[in-house]
Amino acid sequence: MKELAGWPVSRRAWLAAPAALWQGEGRLEIGSGIPAGNIVVEGRAAGEIRVRQDLRDTEGDWFWWCFEVRGAGAETLRFRFTGSDVIGTRGPAMSADGGLTWRWLGRGCVEGKSFVYRFDPAVAAPRFAFAMPYTEADLRRFLRGRKGLRVEELCRTKKGRTAERLRFGANGGGARKVLLTARHHCCECMASYALEGLVEAALEDRWLRGHVQCAVIPFVDKDGVEDGDQGKNRRPRDHNRDYDGQSVHPTVRALREWAPEWGGGRLEFALDLHCPWIRGEHNEEIYFPGGEDQRIWAEMVKFGGILEQVERGGLPYSRANNMPFGTAWNTAANYAQGQSFARWAAGLRGVRAAGTIEIPYANCGSVDVTAESARALGHGLAEALREYLKG
């Protein structure tokens, strides 16, 4: 087992980012050469930039985009997306500090499939994105100086990056086990803020630290996170449909090999954090989609009932929003391409509850989803986890 003491492994690997793809006219530059970057510039005319998301190896359509602008001065520019409508319910996310912090610009700047932004010369390189990116750099900032937490290497990705595995909590043969994962679909960034909040709260919870060992895989699709891929419906196989047969993705293969041995029959709870579709019914609320195993589903409903009662930083959740198997998109046809993490985890020895939580990208009921509110949801998840396991 390789522990990444201080993360010295390979600075080049840690800091790897897509090659800069600056496309400009005059001194204006628009690029995707940043972590999570994704944009194709198709042209410019009369204050309007025509762009679209890069679908690369995505089957069908999806909506992730993220880019940086340099040299705009005090211009006012319209960014018009030439493909599908990929601007979310709170408008674009924007960062003025190199991706350290993000805010929603709101729908006031949106018209159809475009948004307008007036640049400030004091902000050298503003970034814009479909949602608020969360990459390796964010994880490193969060983990810096954290006590009681081990950072290990699950495996190396296809592109040579380290896929992290975090472990903390109780040791010894009697420890109960919990497995948490995120970013099977690399674009689903808001789930990472919730996971960060969950880990933060669990580290501070005396009961969880004393009775439970948690393992966390923060980026199942690590290459996709850093490269700015869509991830959903990836060819030749979606990461979250890679849990049967021979896994094609190294992280999934490594997790399938490691987790059962680590669990040792004491793995009781597994949760995979996701974000749903861009907008609309079911996609602007927190919910748990159910599996076919009714015993496992009953336990997830029980966990949801506890979550419903705890503080979640203002983000509303109701069990009435859950999606039992056989309803809406949650049918057998949705899993025809392969088994998901939740279904695989439900079959592991000792597991009481295993499932997925869907966390909206931007709008939860009438409440903004932000980095702060998603972290607060994570705190609520940790509290619910403690009460569920104690019950």
Pairing of strands 28-31, 66-70: antiparallel
Task: Name the nearest CA neighbour of 17 among 282, 245, 222, 187.
Answer: 222
pLDDT of residue 2: 54
pLDDT digit string (tens) for 52-100? 999 999 999 999 999 999 999 999 999 999 999 999 999 999 999 999 9
pTM assigned to the model: 0.94
pLDDT digit string (tens) for 241-266? 999 999 999 999 999 999 999 999 99
pLDDT of residue 53: 98
* pLDDT at residue 26 is higher than 90: no
pLDDT band at 201 (very low <50, low <70, confident <90, very high): very high
Place of tokens 């049918």: 331
Burial of 42 (0-12, 13-18, 19+ CB in 10 A): middle
pLDDT of residue 27: 82
d(CA 100, CA 137) in angstroms, rounded, equals 9
Q: Which residues lie across from 365 on neighbouring strands?
A: none
Report the helix count and the strand count for the chain, using DSSP H and E.
9, 19
pLDDT band at 10 (very low <50, low <70, confident <90, very high): very low
d(CA 98, CA 174) in angstroms, rounded, equals 45
* pLDDT at residue 382 is higher than 70: yes
Calculate ∠ Cα 338-378-65, nearest 5°: 60
Query: Domains of the chain (ranges plus CATH)?
Result: 14-129 (2.60.40.3120), 136-390 (3.40.630.10)
Report the percentage of the chain scoring pLDDT > 70. Answer: 93
- Phi, psi of 304, deg, nearest 5: -60, -35
